[in-house]
């Protein structure tokens, strides 16, 4: 069984080395729509794969990091990176270039990392990310699956290789969220009192 939750954000970037001229030399923005698709082969006490409401805490916060932010590849020109950091309070440094393909991989990787560390509290079991679709425009999207995340030909993804500006972190519900993720600390879901016995 699969469920899907839609997230939206506005983000600016340059994608170096691509074929489209407008894309590789000029800062430009997109109104992204992200489809996060989760899967499980059993249902929780509410007879759901995973309550949509639970996706509105850490997973929403981390995806929302991109909103009204500029993101850049950490291998870009140091002068450009310095300029992004100087003139934008909200920025994200990525270990991969910010193409639609990499947005889908990065968001899959973060969401799965959070789920892996989540202490479930309502009978959820085996919940994992099935796929992430990153719509960059109304006409173009990239979709990734589990095998794409560990595919080193597409770039290595490690939690410690991402960096968020102070402003981005301060706007999370828990400004220490990413530190917790790197340290392997648990993300605890709220307790649920059962009213009807199965
Ligand atoms: N496979 C990819 N191709 C392109 C990406 C990408 O991330 N992955 N990104 C871009 C640019 O960021 C560009 O702004 C979007 O490209 P494009 O679809 O050509 O944009 P348009 O606004 O011209 O879209 P239309 O709907 O066709 O008007 C380029 N390619």
81 CB-contact burial (10 Å; exposed 0-12 / middle 13-18 / buried 19+): middle
Separation in Å, CA 129 to CA 39, 85, 132, 178? 6, 32, 8, 19
Rounded distance between C-alpha atoms, residue 70 and residue 55, angstroms: 24
pLDDT tens column, 84-138:
999 999 999 999 999 999 999 999 999 999 999 999 999 999 999 999 999 999 9
pLDDT of 187 over the 80 cut: yes
Residue 197's pLDDT band, with cuts at 50, 70 and 90, is confident
Using CB distances shorter than 6 Å, the residues near ligand 1 are: 15, 18, 20, 23, 28, 99-101, 136-140, 142
Domain-wise residue ranges, the chain: 2-188
Strand partners, 131: 37, 145
Rounded distance between C-alpha atoms, residue 153 and residue 150, angstroms: 9
Question: Distance from the CA of 149 to the center of ligand 1, in angstroms?
Answer: 22
**Full-model pTM:** 0.97
Fold designation for 2-188: Tetrahydropterin Synthase; Chain A (3.30.479)
Residue among 101, 124, 136, 171 flagged as catalytic: 136
């Amino acid at each position: 069984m699969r469920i899907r939750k839609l997230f939206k954000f506005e983000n600016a970037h340059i994608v170096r080395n691509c074929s489209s001229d407008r894309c590789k030399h000029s800062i430009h923005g997109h109104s992204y729509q992200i489809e996060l698709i989760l899967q499980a082969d059993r249902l929780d006490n509410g007879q759901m794969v995973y309550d949509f409401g639970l996706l509105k805490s850490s997973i929403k916060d981390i995806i929302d990091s991109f909103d009204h932010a500029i993101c850049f590849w950490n291998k870009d020109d140091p002068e450009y990176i310095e300029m992004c950091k100087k003139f934008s309070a909200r920025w994200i440094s990525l270990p991969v270039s910010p193409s639609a393909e990499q947005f889908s991989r990065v968001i899959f990787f973060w969401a799965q990392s959070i789920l892996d560390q989540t202490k479930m509290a309502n009978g959820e079991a085996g919940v994992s990310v099935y796929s992430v679709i990153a719509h960059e425009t109304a006409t173009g999207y990239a979709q990734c699956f589990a095998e794409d995340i560990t595919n080193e030909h597409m770039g290595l993804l490690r939690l410690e290789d991402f960096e968020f500006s102070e402003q981005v972190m301060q706007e999370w519900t828990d400004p220490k969220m990413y530190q917790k993720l790197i340290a392997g600390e648990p993300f605890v879901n709220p307790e649920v009192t059962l009213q009807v016995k199965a």
